[in-house]
Amino acid sequence: MFTGRLVFAQFMDFHPKYDFDCCVARYRGNYKSRGFSCLDQWLGMAFAQLTGKESLREIQTCLRAMQTKLYHAGFRGRVSRSTLADANERRDWRIYADFAAVLIGMARRLYTGENLGLDLSNMVYALDSTTVDLCLSLFPWARFRKHKAGIKVHTLLDLRGSIPSFIRITEAKTHDVFFLDEVILEPGAFYIMDRGYIDFSRLYRFTQAMAFFVTRAKSNCAYIRLSYRHVDKSTGLRSDETIRLRGPKTSAEYPAPLRRISYFDAETGHRLVFLTNNFDLPALTIALLYKRRWKIELFFKWIKQHLRIKAFFGTSENAVKTQVWIAVSAYVLVAIIKKELGISRDLSEILQILSIALFEKVELYQILTATSQQNENLGLPNQLELFDL
């Protein structure tokens, strides 16, 4: 029988404490903490993310029910609803944003060799955003329509492992295209995005940085065809052309040639037109590369279903951003554990198992693997058998 540490404590072994302390010190997070540190706050909020708690009162009730185990789980301060609420309101959300960046760096190194399903060695990213609706009366600072409030989570997703490489949280009224100004471009990398990111002056920055983009073309895009390549129409391709933008404004914003690829998707029955600044990859690879963008849609769907970023524990901007960043940290930490331990289960299964086993004393690897464990015979060796079987 495994008589070691709690599952929650083993889970937090993958939490880089030194880096966390550096993030806390950077923003003086523990200044006048009065016994409830940033680590206690992070553990309490991470517990809520892993177990699906809906309110601060639920967090307090469940953790106090395990009062005798909290010290061994890593808690040093007394967890209460008011203390946790004050910490979420007052402690700088950038502590947890910086720490999430540390975890993202760790996860990306682990998932670098993941198979993308294409004969491509370049880094591939998907850009998109998701809107989280808020109640206008409770979150007036996040107004973006007359009767609605919300925030927008802009994400740059590394498609090798579905790890968010860069995240920015803004008001919901912020247009997606402004996110391109904050993305640090990597030479040779591919960036997949939808039509909401078309701004030719910003896209030309990709060409200048020797990075590649793939996006959908708008129907009113005016261009001149410079040349064309023959395509195999049995693969779904319809055309592969080299073009130059014709509009007086767009031609000045993007003076270089572009590649225009038309593709018929037999699965959906839609005809898709792509624009890219890459002229080397086969046209079919470009089309299949864009189809990999669905991974970021699955990422948004996953975090909304399994993490707590729709029901918030506080109403201030600081509390909302703190909760979102800790949710991202929990997601990435689960991804790190999956890779470090070589777990074959998907992330949702791992999260479901953790949600009911955090305060059990069982080996983390054992409980997360699919191998069945038989009950251990704990009978005394000198106990006589009542019946001979």
Query: What pLDDT, on the 0 to 100 scale, is given for residue 296?
Result: 92
- Whole-angstrom Cα Rg for the chain: 25
In-domain check, residue 247: yes
CB-based burial label for 320 (10 Å; 0-12, 13-18, 19+): buried
The answer as to whether 87 is a domain residue is yes
Local structure of 152: helix, strand or coil: strand
Per-residue pLDDT of 319-357, as tens digits, reads 999 999 999 999 999 999 999 999 988 888 999 999 999
Q: Kindly indicate the confidence band of residue 268, based on its pLDDT and cuts at 50, 70 and 90.
A: confident
- Number of other residues whose CB lies within 10 A of the CB of residue 198: 19
In contact, 51 and 358? CB cutoff 8 Å = yes
Q: Is residue 222 part of a domain?
A: yes
**143 in a structural domain:** no
pLDDT value for 382: 59
3-state secondary structure 51-100: HCCCCHHHHHHHHHHCHHHHHHHCCCCCCCHHHHHHHHHHCCCHHHHHHH
Domain ends where: 279, 303, 331?
279
Q: Is the pLDDT of residue 2 over 80?
A: no
Count: domains in the chain: 2
Which residue type occupies 236? G
Residues 275 and 325 in one domain: no
Q: Which of 220-224, 324-328, 382-386 has the lowest mean pLDDT?
A: 382-386
Token readout for 382 is: 């000198």
Residues 200 and 266 both lie in one domain = yes
- Residues 40-52: pLDDT tens digits? 999 999 999 999 8
Return the closest-CA partner of residue 134 out of 149, 154, 152.
149
Residue 76: inside a domain, yes or no? yes
Do 24 and 90 lie in one domain? The reply is yes
Look up the CATH number of the domain holding residue 272: 2.20.25
Mean pLDDT of the chain: 89
- Each residue of 233-257: pLDDT tens digit? 999 999 999 999 998 899 999 999 9
Query: In DSSP terms, which residues pair with 260 in a beta bridge?
Result: 241, 275
Domain finish residue from 279, 297, 321: 279
Question: Is pLDDT of 383 > 70?
Answer: no
Judge whether 150 lies within some domain: no
Q: Percent of the chain having pLDDT more than 90?
A: 68
Q: Are 320 and 242 members of one domain?
A: no
Q: What is the mean pLDDT of residues 217-238?
A: 92
Answer whether residue 55 is part of any domain: yes
Q: Provide the domain limits for residue 39.
A: 7-95+313-368
